[in-house]
Amino acid sequence: MENDDLIKSFFEDMRTKDQNLEIPAFPKPKTRSINWIIPVGIAASLFLAGFLFFEKEPEAEAPAEVIIITLEEGPNQEQQFKIQESTYLDTWESGTSSLLTEF
């Protein structure tokens, strides 16, 4: 019990000493007007890098010539490939249209 009273009195003395201490004011950091230049420079660099690295690839143009390959049935039930070259495609026929006409 004596130890408890001794410890209590020790901490009470410390509290009274702490109340008499003067606490200095927290110093304000010096601000520079240059601090905003660094983030703006980084943002501008990233913006310009976006234009340099992500250029649009030129779109491939369609070839001027078109090759049309058809399968035709010749005499004696033999099938032949017919290859035609032209500068443009006149008509378009779907791949399943032969099912409608032949069957």
- Predicted pLDDT at 78: 84
Question: pLDDT, tens digit, for every residue of 23-82?
Answer: 888 888 776 667 778 888 899 999 888 877 777 777 777 666 777 788 888 788 888 888
CA distance 102 to 4: 110
- Predicted pLDDT at 5: 87
Of residues 57, 29, 33, 93, the one with CA closest to residue 101: 93
Q: What is the DSSP letter of 84?
A: E
Residues with Cβ < 8 Å from 86, sequence gap 6 or more? 65, 66, 68
Q: Which two tokens stand for residue 74?
A: 């010749």
